[in-house]
Structure formats: C-alpha cells, structure tokens
C-alpha cells in the first residue's frame, strides 16, 4: 500500500512540474504577471540547487512584474497592489 502511495506522489509531482514548465513557456511572452508564481510553485517541490534556481527565478520574475506594473499601471490598480503584496511575501 505504501509503495502505491509513494508511486502516486511521484507521478503527481512529475505532472505538476510538467504543467508548471509548460505554463512558464507560455508566459515567456512580453509581460505576464503570473510567471513568478509558477517559479515559486516549482521551488516548493524542488530540492537543492533546483530549488535555489527556481526561487531566484521567482524573485526576478516578481521584480520584473513589479517594474512593469509600476511603469504601466496606476498605484491603486489591483494587479499592481497584488504584485507588491506577493513580492513582499517572496522576499521574507
């Protein structure tokens, strides 16, 4: 029974990683505000150097989104406020 559960966990983790990577390919277009989220999701499941790399990419994507929001959106826009909140959580 425990082997079946372990197999399902590994399978779900692999599917999750594939979906996140597919979303990151889609988000490689001009400015997309969710790119940092998917890197953060990958960091939550990764270990070692992969985790560090995903966390760094997440922080960079959040900073890029924050810069874009700061340049293009008014201070009270919901997307800009959300980016600020997520970026503050990411850097803690």
- What is the rounded CA–CA span in Å between residue 84 and residue 51? 23
Residue 4 confidence (pLDDT) above 80: yes
What residues make up the domain containing 55? Answer: 2-90
Q: Rounded CA gap, 61 and 56, in Å?
A: 9
pLDDT for the residue numbered 56 = 92
The number of domains in the chain is: 1
The CATH number covering residue 69 comes to 1.20.190.20
Q: How far apart are the first and last CA of the chain?
A: 39
In this structure, the number of other CB atoms found within 10 A of the CB of residue 32 comes to 18
- Do the Cβ atoms of 66 and 86 come closer than 8 Å? no
The DSSP 8-state label assigned to residue 34 in this structure reads T
Q: What is the pLDDT of residue 52?
A: 94
3-state secondary structure of 31: coil
Tell me what pLDDT residue 49 has: 94
Supply 24's token pair.
């990151």
Give tens-digit pLDDT for 19-70: 777 776 666 655 566 788 888 888 888 889 999 998 998 888 878 877 777 7
């Amino acid at each position: 029974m425990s082997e079946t559960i372990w197999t399902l966990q590994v399978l779900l983790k692999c599917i999750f990683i594939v979906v996140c990577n597919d979303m990151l390919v889609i988000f490689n277009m001009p400015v997309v505000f969710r790119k940092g989220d998917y890197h953060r999701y990958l960091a939550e499941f990764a270990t070692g150097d992969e985790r560090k790399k995903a966390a760094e990419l997440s922080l960079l994507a959040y900073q890029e989104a924050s810069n874009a929001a700061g340049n293009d959106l008014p201070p009270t826009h919901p997307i800009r406020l959300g980016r600020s909140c997520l970026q503050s959580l990411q850097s803690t």
